[in-house]
Amino acid sequence: MTMLKSLSAALALLLALVIAPAQAQLQITVTNGDVGALPIAIVPFTQVGSVRVDVAQVVENDLVRSGRFRAMSRDEMRQKPNQPAQFDPAPWRSQGTDNVVVGQVLDDGKGGYVARFFLLDSLSGKSVVAYDIPVRGPEQMRYAAHQIADIVYEKLLGLPGYFNTKIAYVSAQGLGYQRTYQLIVADSDGEQPRVIATSRETLMSPNWSPDRKQLVYVGYERGRSAIYLHTLASGQVRKLVSEKGINGSPVFSPDGTKLAFVLSFEINPDIYVMDVSGGNRRRLTDHYGIDTEPAWSPDGSKLVFTSDRSGRPQIYEISVAGGEPTRLTFQGSQNLRPSYAPDGKSLLFVNVDGGRQRIALQDLPGGALHLLSNGPLDEGPSFAPGGAVIIYSSQGPHGRQLETVSVDGRVRLTMRQATGDVQEPAWSPLLK
């Protein structure tokens, strides 16, 4: 190998350290769609020449992958309007497509762009929604497309869109000594993966701050675990907690001021609460069983957590002020890793029953249990913002992969890497 060649290989990898390697790119497949999906047409946008992103395609992918929409193919479109004045509703109506999205990407004259789009109704012939979305530069173009998808989704379904969001996950490659872990943050469609942290030791339990500017996670360093706080804009990493023993399960409170987490240095794993700034640390649970995996209620007044105080792991609820925990789960041999739905009305967790480990949703208080996945080794569930979709990790044919499922169980998506394992997904909050 010549010197030149090896240098260029190294250069390519340096780039890859910032932008995640191709193998970390998630491949998305819809495994089960909604039979009642709404027909929609996303007409290719008229775009100024410097724009590389096919905005209409990004919008279409988002909507189709939600399982709630069925998109007309571009070949079937008899006209390609880019504004309401060019829109002839009749052909769309005759093809059974009530909803048509048209638009343009224009220069804003200041080095940026404007993504202008309209949601048109072929029954009334009218524009239902019209927006100009400012786009600072080409690297922001995909976000504008996701915003368009969010607006269309919310307008037509009455549910908040969740496309202009991020997913954090852990990618692990190799075995034994060679295993390498990366904490990655990608767009909700798996695009633009960025490596946040790389380690030869495990990375676990990423959790977003409510303003989605920071992530907390667990890492190991020189035979010791620690909870780290990563600020995305600056890339700054701060070691928040590193006691002897376990430092685990960090989760931001809904107001973003506190963290709940797990420490074992005072004998065995218990739940602690602390200000994000590091002060006012207090122990919330005190039991000889394993207390772990805390999650806040949406109003911040309670926490659920996993505890094996009754023998096997089950889910308990405790006031943030402390006191006696209440057991919430009774079905199956084990229930673990709980979190509340964004509306607080149901509980999401891992259910173990008959040797199968599946994702379950239980109505609160004490309601029916709905199994949302088939197992046998599903884990790490969390809600997408808005609460309509759940993401979790499963054992796929070539390693661990991510799956999403709508809360009604009808729409399923698989996100997998070419190689290695993808695990520990955490969906970011919506940008407020």
Partner 1 sequence: MKRNKFLLAVGVLTALLLGACSHGKHDSSAPVPVNTNTSGYADTTGGANQLGNAAEDARTAAERALTNNIVYFDYDSSVIKEEYKSVVSAYARYLSANPAAKVRLEGHTDERGSREYNIGLGERRANAVRDALTAAGVTPAQIAVISYGKERPAVEGHDEAAWSQNRRVQIIRL
Give the nearest distance from C-beta 7 to partner 1 in angstroms. 7
Q: Which of 44, 112, 245, 396 binds partner 1 (CB under 8 A)?
A: 245
Which is nearer to partner 1, 6 or 31 (by Cβ)?
A: 6
Contact 167, 186 (CB under 8 A): yes
Q: Is the dihedral of CA 319, 322, 326, 329 positive or negative?
A: positive
- If one asks whether residue 382 binds partner 1 (CB under 8 A), the answer comes out as no
Beta bridge partners of 251: 260
Beta bridge partners of 101: 42, 119
- If one asks whether residue 417 binds partner 1 (CB under 8 A), the answer comes out as no
Distance, in Å, from the CA atom of 112 to the CA atom of 427, rounded to the nearest integer, reads: 29
Give the nearest distance from C-beta 79 to partner 1 in angstroms. 49
Q: Which of 268, 319, 326, 414 binds partner 1 (CB under 8 A)?
A: 268
Which is nearer to partner 1, 61 or 423 (by Cβ)?
A: 423
Distance, in Å, from the CA atom of 143 to the CA atom of 33, rounded to the nearest integer, reads: 25
Binding mask 152-181 for partner 1 (x = CB under 8 A): ---------------------xxxxxxxx-
Work out the number of other CB atoms within 10 angstroms of the CB of residue 83.
Answer: 16
Work out the number of other CB atoms within 10 angstroms of the CB of residue 243.
Answer: 16
Contacts of 290 (CB under 8 A, 6+ apart): 268, 269, 306, 307, 308, 313
Contact 300, 320 (CB under 8 A): yes
- Give the interface segment with partner 1, choosing from 53-61, 112-120, 161-169, 218-226 (CB under 8 A): 218-226
Distance, in Å, from the CA atom of 55 to the CA atom of 67, rounded to the nearest integer, reads: 19
Q: Is the dihedral of CA 43, 388, 114, 123 positive or negative?
A: positive
Which is nearer to partner 1, 145 or 361 (by Cβ)?
A: 361
Beta bridge partners of 238: 229
Distance, in Å, from the CA atom of 250 to the CA atom of 219, rounded to the nearest integer, reads: 11
- If one asks whether residue 10 binds partner 1 (CB under 8 A), the answer comes out as yes
Distance, in Å, from the CA atom of 404 to the CA atom of 88, rounded to the nearest integer, reads: 37
Give the nearest distance from C-beta 300 to partner 1 in angstroms. 21
Give the nearest distance from C-beta 261 to partner 1 in angstroms. 10
- Give the interface segment with partner 1, choosing from 129-137, 155-163, 240-248, 383-391 (CB under 8 A): 240-248
- Give the interface segment with partner 1, choosing from 4-12, 50-58, 72-80, 102-110 (CB under 8 A): 4-12
- If one asks whether residue 214 binds partner 1 (CB under 8 A), the answer comes out as no
Of the candidates 309, 292, 301, which has an alpha carbon nearest to the alpha carbon of residue 253?
A: 301
Binding mask 334-373 for partner 1 (x = CB under 8 A): x-xx------------x-x----x----------------
Q: Which of 60, 150, 379, 403 binds partner 1 (CB under 8 A)?
A: 379
- If one asks whether residue 246 binds partner 1 (CB under 8 A), the answer comes out as yes
- Give the interface segment with partner 1, choosing from 40-48, 91-99, 103-111, 223-231 (CB under 8 A): 223-231
Give the nearest distance from C-beta 358 to partner 1 in angstroms. 12
Binding residue count for partner 1, defined by CB under 8 A: 56
Binding mask 275-314 for partner 1 (x = CB under 8 A): ---------------x-xx------------x-x---xx-
* Residue entry with tokens 């998506």: 413
Give the nearest distance from C-beta 268 to partner 1 in angstroms. 7
- If one asks whether residue 242 binds partner 1 (CB under 8 A), the answer comes out as no
Q: What residues between 67 and 86 interact with partner 1 by CB under 8 A? A: none
- Give the interface segment with partner 1, choosing from 35-43, 152-160, 200-208, 319-327 (CB under 8 A): 200-208
- If one asks whether residue 251 binds partner 1 (CB under 8 A), the answer comes out as no
Q: Interface residues with partner 1 (CB under 8 A)? A: 6-7, 9-11, 13-14, 17, 21, 173-180, 198, 200, 202, 204-205, 220, 223-225, 245-246, 248-249, 262, 264, 268-269, 290, 292-293, 306, 308, 312-313, 334, 336-337, 350, 352, 357, 376-377, 379-380, 395, 419-420, 423-424
